[in-house]
Amino acid sequence: MRDIVLITGGGRGIGAATARLAAARGYDVVINYRSNAETAAAVVRDIEQAGGRGLAVKGDMAKEEDVEALFKAVDSFGPLKHFVYNSGVTGKNSRFESVSTQTLRDNVDINLMGAFFCARAAIPRLSTKHGKQGGSMVFLGSVQSKLGAAGEYVWYAATKSGVDALVTGLSKELAGEGIRVNCVSPGPIDTEIHEPGRLARIAHQLPSGRVGRPEEVAEAILFLISDAASYTSGTILTVSGAR
């Protein structure tokens, strides 16, 4: 029987790459998407073509009721083993005094509150304290939690710092309950989260001379949920080309 992985924001970018790789590595995969049903359906088809079972569930991770519905859908699909929180937004790049209140709220609600809601829902489905078999959680952070994203999206960096702290605390709280909690912290990756032209503008400034690919981040995530990382918890694994 294949272990089940739940990936939020799994219809595009890093989430989609992780879903496809997980299926290729022998997992069944549930993905969540917020609005684009077409891309999510394409990911499910790829999961099934790789020999796994796939399911796409619509929902906004900033909404507590949508998170509850997502995890209930997973319960119907099978017992959860691994959870990846990949949902995230940045908003329009600007200096901090120019950012809209809505952008601030969106970043806190999706990047941080969504992670809170999902972690809270995942724990009783994984923890040996709740009679389950254990598992792992991986949260997507960002190198900007350390760099600060000055002049672009300081608010995003601040929420990702919160994700780092969440991982540190949960890893200690859940270590005796069979749950490993880790973070993958990407640098600039070729996904749609960036404003048009940003990646081309900054690529030459990076030590590696290029931005990363979603598949490179997916490899790090799959390592952290695998048995090869059985003694790895509380880590923030940076995938940034030395940025």
Is 231 considered catalytic here? no
Alpha helices in 50-137 (DSSP H): 64-77, 101-107, 114-126
Tokens of 35: 């609005």
Sheet holding 179-186, edge to edge: 54-58, 28-33, 4-7, 80-85, 135-140, 179-186, 236-239
Closest of 43, 45, 52, 50 to residue 8, by C-alpha: 43
Distance (Å, rounded) from C-alpha 121 to C-alpha 115?
A: 10
CB-CB contact of 194 with 172 (8 Å): no
Name the percent of the chain in helix, strand, coil, to the closest 5.
50, 15, 35
Distance (Å, rounded) from C-alpha 19 to C-alpha 12?
A: 10
Residue 24 has phi, psi (to 5 degrees) of -65, -25
Q: Exactly one of 85, 153, 156, 231 is catalytic; which is it?
A: 156
Q: Which residues are catalytic?
A: 156
